[in-house]
Structure 1
Amino acid sequence: MRIEISSSGIRMTNVPDKEGLSDERVYYVYEWYIKEDGRVFYIGKGKNNRYKQDKNSFFMDVKQAFDCDVRFVEKGLTEYEALVLEEELFARRESDGHVLTNINTPNTSGVFGTPVDYEYMTTPQVEVTRIDQEYFGIEQKKFDKISIDALLKTYIYKMTCYGLGNLYFKNEEKEFIQQQICEKRINELSQEVKDFIESRGGRLYRSKAKSIKSIIIYGGLLHDSYQQYKDEGLEVYHLIDVLKYIREH
């Protein structure tokens, strides 16, 4: 990723300098679309049979759910020309309202859209990608309501604390909270949960054992992961909801 300055303004780009790129005019830019309504869901560049190859999981979800086809936007390009056109097409299609399954799309919204802005001790919602919303009609939902029976056999899912500072610290100036400090805070809160559960004859498991009835998340969670846990028969709680439940009981 680099910054490119031109007469039209400043933009971020993934396109490298021409040096080192192929001058052979064997490259093309292509796009996958849904036949029924023409929605474009993937843009790429390549040569030979690259356009036929499967892409990421978001691409595969859409491709398998709809009747789709692929078309060439332009052929006979150098590698640099193809990269430039590919990026320009990202912005053009997004501007026209198409939602792309490409992971890396400079100057566009991307699969995940705007990052979640956490608020102090406020439970976030289960997140959905722009793909979930656009193609499958999935909306954000709340974490599950606490059931004491499921809470007494639970497991806290270990994840990175990066970016969670605002969730667990009062930080009006939005200063960066180091991950080590955040981890220490999570450990303290986890101990509070453990003490509560054990005082009522339950168990906080160290790993995802077969006998657990719920799982506790302390950061964000995508809908696909939420649904996977539900399919496994688990209740899915957020640590903040669990702490509020504990303090009320």
Structure 2
Amino acid sequence: MSFLNKLFGSKKQENKPVNQDETKELLEQRKEKELVEGTNNENSELESTINLESLGDLITISSGPVGVSTGSTATDFYVYEWFIKETGEVFYVGKGRGNRYKAFHEKAYEAEKIREMYDTDVRFVGKDLTEDEAVELESQEMTRILNETNDRLTNRIIPFFTKRGNGYDRSSNTPSFQFEKAPTLYVNEIEEHYYNLKPQLFDEVNLENLKAPVFLNWSIDEQVNTIYGGNVEKYLGETKNLLLKNGSKVLKSQYAKSTTAWIYIGDESVTKYNLVQKLALDRIGRKIPTYHLIDVWKFLKDNIGEFPPVPTTDALININPTHNRVPLEEIKNLNDWSKGYDEGMPYWEEGNKERKKGNLERAIELFDLARYNGYEAPALYKSYVMAFRKLKDYDNEIAIIDEAIERSQTTEGGVNGTFILEIKERREKALLLKKKV
């Protein structure tokens, strides 16, 4: 037996389903849809809750079940788990009735892929259960596996406060982020363990491929900001400016026929990288050289010279917005994000419908109400910006972007780097448009 077989379990060689090709195609289509649209593998009805229990003067925190009862009165529910025969590794835990345990799970992409690759089986953890008992036992079994074994579960939603997470975290072999050093295209624990995928380097920069690049601002978070010392705008601005001064054209469309390179600002997974390269091959007939911004920045610095100053237009333009928005300090639910979401989000939804119909003034009135009631999601500010741009109200567009940047940097949960970078670019465009008026 080979080393990989010992480590990962033997791949299926016989007893494969008759519709193997159709199954594989369906799985790949499902995976592509999830990566492009950002959907989850699990049922949308699943959720995880936190229970707070008072014991005298103490408060204990525990995880509630990951499943939700539908109210069924049946008593023939069961909890099952799929495992690899050779190694005994459990990779999926579920509950159901009837033939659920052996049915194709369309939303459990990774689990089905493992069933396709390996010789697997199923066993029951409990039978003849009420639905509530099955929900509880399912969570208990996930907790046991994550606390007492090294098995990688493919369940997207797991109980809180387990010793390990599910297998969707970056592999422990992923290099850590470092200042002015490009990251790798990463893999998660499931991909590394079951599929033998490894982290991958970005391509080496070639000057010929910088004639018409597209910058991709995906996956920019506080960890990624380590690469730029918290100042991604400096590196992005200097790189774009030097490219433009040397005759390059920065494109917007990722799959434009004239695209010569993709330049990632954040990091990305090997799986999604492979997917977008496949889409490029399908749409424009070739794969695209893929670089990281920090590598391009270093290449230009070493081969072309020092970066010229990045021009700014703020000092040359007066911003005088006219609006009826209340000051930030008068916003309701300012320190209660959840309540602000509940009370403000319906106004944003209605406003976005009006914006799409072309009723821009009414849309802005509804956005103002959403904001006043405490809704502060990036979606609100994106909608504001699109409405003001359509109205050519650049003063208000710039003002609302400045507010969005200010609030996003103080929001609980940290800075949304991708959002900030996107709206800062829109701000620069709005300044240029205002200058032309």
Q: Deviations over 1:112-142 (max 9, x none)?
A: 2269874444422211011111111222232
| 2:100 equivalent in structure 1 | 50
Q: What residue in structure 1 maps to residue 84 of structure 2?
A: 34
Name the counterpart of 1:242: 296
Matches within 5 A, 1:79-90: 79-90=131-142
Name the residue aligned to 2:187.
128
Task: Give the aligned partner of residue 167 of structure 2.
Answer: 111
Partner of 1:93: 145
Measured after TM superposition, the shift of residue 111 of structure 1 is: 2.5
Q: Which runs of 5+ in 1 are unaligned?
A: 172-184
Residues of 2 paired with 1:6 and 1:124: CA distance? 45
TM-score (normalised: structure 2): 0.47
**What whole-Å deviation, never above 9, does each CA across 1:15-35 have from its counterpart, x for those lacking one?**
4798x7445322111111223
Q: Please provide the CA RMSD for this pair.
A: 3.0
Aligned pair in 2 of structure 1 residues 158, 32: CA closer, same or farther (>3 Å)?
same
Q: Does 1:167 align with 2:223?
A: no
Identify which of structures 1 and 2 has the higher relative contact order when contacts are C-alpha pairs closer than 8 Å and 6+ apart. 1
Aligned to 2:211: 152
What do the CA deviations read for 1:75-128 (whole angstroms, capped 9, x no partner)? 111222212211221132233221111111222311322698744444222110
> Which sits farther off after the overlay, 222-231 or 211-220?
222-231
Aligned pairs for 1:45-84 (under 5 A) are 45-51=95-101, 52-54=103-105, 55-84=107-136
2:219–2:267: 8 Å Cα contact kept in structure 1? no
Q: Which residue of 2 aligns with 1:190?
A: 236
Corresponding residue of 1:3: 51
Q: Tell whether the 8 Å contact from 2:170 to 2:188 is kept in structure 1 after alignment.
A: no
Normalising by the residue count of structure 1, what TM-score does the alignment of the two structures yield? 0.78
Contact 1:15 1:80 in 2 (8 A): no
- Alpha-carbon distance between aligned partners in 2 of 1:68 and 1:170, rounded to the nearest angstrom: 47
Structure of greater Rg: 2
Q: Tell whether the 8 Å contact from 1:32 to 1:71 is kept in structure 2 after alignment.
A: yes
Identity of aligned residues (%): 29
Higher share in strand: 1
Secondary structure at the counterpart of residue 250 of structure 2:
strand
Q: Name the amino acid aligned to 1:151.
A: L
Greater helix proportion:
2
Alignment coverage as a number of residue pairs: 234
